[in-house]
Amino acid sequence: MVQAEHEVLNGRRIVDISCLFKSIALVCHTSFDCSFKNLIFSHEIRKGFFSEPQILNEKLMINSAAVIAILNTGQGHSQLDQFSAILDMPCMCNTTYQKEHEFVANNTHITTWESIEEAGKEEARLAIENVEVNSNGIPLITIVADGAWSKRSYKHNYSVLSGVACIVAYRTKKLLFIGVRNMYCSVYMKAKSINEDPPNHVCYKNWNNISTSMESDIIVEVDIASRRKSSSGAVVPGELRKILKERRLKL
């Protein structure tokens, strides 16, 4: 059989799992020794979420994809469970969700740092090519730093429990560093509320200072150049950076 030109089917679709398996079981033509394995996709008719025919795509496992999607919308397992219930779809349990969450987080961490290392090498190369080095031949990289928090302060409520700051190369606009400060761990706080020791877990709590100093602490953590720019755009030389690190002043 010669396969004719046809559309490329990609992505995922929502299916009625019972109907799908019944349809597969019906594809059995004994006279011609033809079954489901002999089918060739021709085209797809789509109307919104309605799709015919339907196939599976394993570029990314569905559980991992679901966790990534829900995290990117700022939600968690409870919202994913409600979303699945409305669509009449089975949802993963919280234990499976947490395992997938850890898997996604670890791979995101690895990928991010690989990208940061490549960006740093590129910035160093460009600085050397433009003779932007100090007396010791170390490349001088101009950067821009900015921070964000999990909620707005409205200039009076500085009680946020988590903050992040990014350092971006001024020349290439690529990420050179990202740091996170967390003042809260749900596992630790739950154990503390019942006067028990917390179980073994990956604890993301790494900050016990005030919320307003999160950004400056992350920025001074990185010593990648003797000149840099703060979130306001002003150049912060190396000596001032040293003072900021010692006193933890806000840029």
Q: Which domain holds residue 226?
A: 112-246
Domain boundary among 92, 120, 149: 92
Q: Any idea what the Cα angle at residue 206 is, between residues 202 and 210, rounded to 5°?
A: 150
Contacts of 163 (CB under 8 A, 6+ apart): 147, 148, 149, 150, 180, 181, 207, 211, 214, 215, 218
Q: Is residue 60 part of a domain?
A: yes
Percent share of the chain, pLDDT over 90 = 6
On the question of pLDDT at 8 being above 50, the answer is yes
Q: Is residue 167 part of a domain?
A: yes
Query: 164: which DSSP letter?
Result: E
What kind and span of H or E run contains 180? strand 175-182
What is the C-alpha to C-alpha distance for residues 56 and 208, in angstroms, rounded to an integer? 47
152 and 241 share a domain? yes
- Span 46-69, mean pLDDT? 67
Contacts of 238 (CB under 8 A, 6+ apart): 226, 227
Choose the weakest-confidence range: 40-49, 188-197, 226-235: 226-235
Q: Residues 116-138: pLDDT tens digits? A: 888 888 988 898 898 888 887 87
What is the C-alpha to C-alpha distance for residues 124 and 139, in angstroms, rounded to an integer? 6
44 and 167 share a domain? no
On the question of pLDDT at 44 being above 80, the answer is no
Q: Is residue 101 part of a domain?
A: no
Contacts of 216 (CB under 8 A, 6+ apart): 244, 248, 249, 250, 251
How large is the C-alpha radius of gyration of the chain? 26
What's the chain's length in residues? 251
Return the residue matching tokens 């749900």: 186
Could you tell me where the DSSP H helices lie in the chain?
17-26, 62-72, 77-86, 94-129, 186-193, 214-221, 238-247
pLDDT band at 142 (very low <50, low <70, confident <90, very high): confident
What is the C-alpha to C-alpha distance for residues 199 and 174, in angstroms, rounded to an integer? 39
On the question of pLDDT at 250 being above 70, the answer is no
Number of domains in the chain: 2
120 and 242 share a domain? yes
118 and 223 share a domain? yes
Six-digit token string for 20: 């799908």
What is the C-alpha to C-alpha distance for residues 52 and 44, in angstroms, rounded to an integer? 6
Q: Is residue 81 part of a domain?
A: yes
Domain boundary among 92, 123, 146: 92
pLDDT band at 227 (very low <50, low <70, confident <90, very high): very low
Contacts of 44 (CB under 8 A, 6+ apart): 7, 9, 51, 52, 53
What is the C-alpha to C-alpha distance for residues 173 and 119, in angstroms, rounded to an integer? 9
Contacts of 54 (CB under 8 A, 6+ apart): 13, 15, 20
What is the C-alpha to C-alpha distance for residues 131 and 135, in angstroms, rounded to an integer? 11
0.75 exceeded by pTM: no
Q: What's the pLDDT score for residue 4?
A: 46
On the question of pLDDT at 54 being above 60, the answer is no
